[in-house]
Structure 1
Amino acid sequence: MFLTNILLKKAKSKMVMVLMESAVSGHKFTAIRERLVDKLEVIRFDPYIRAQSVYRERKKIRSIKST
């Protein structure tokens, strides 16, 4: 391995954009969380059923560069 590969290696970002999906209707939105935190699970208004619903993290979309 060359020394330049070690020195020029990219640093991992601290934030991740994830896809959140409603457990009731399947409505989706994106959220941002820290990379090292457990998967998100939040209660939020669902416009399809017009009531509060549990949203669970489905998948990681991309990394986000922190400022």
Structure 2
Amino acid sequence: MLNPSTVREALLELLNQNVQLTTNFGMITGTVSQVKNDYTVITEDTNAQVLVPIYNVELLSEA
């Protein structure tokens, strides 16, 4: 499991950029819209917003 504070810092650096997140409930691709203390908001291509708990992120990469 990744360190949540490290994931949060990486997400902050990728704010408004496209990412691909692998979580324990599936893969999410979209734009990092917001980064909060314990979750991030990813806006998918369909404009759907997905709230992802940072502690569930297993892999993070630029898309």
Does TM, scored on the shorter chain, surpass 0.5?
Answer: no
Choose between structure 1 and 2: higher helix proportion.
2
- Structure with greater Cα Rg: 1
TM-score (norm 1): 0.29
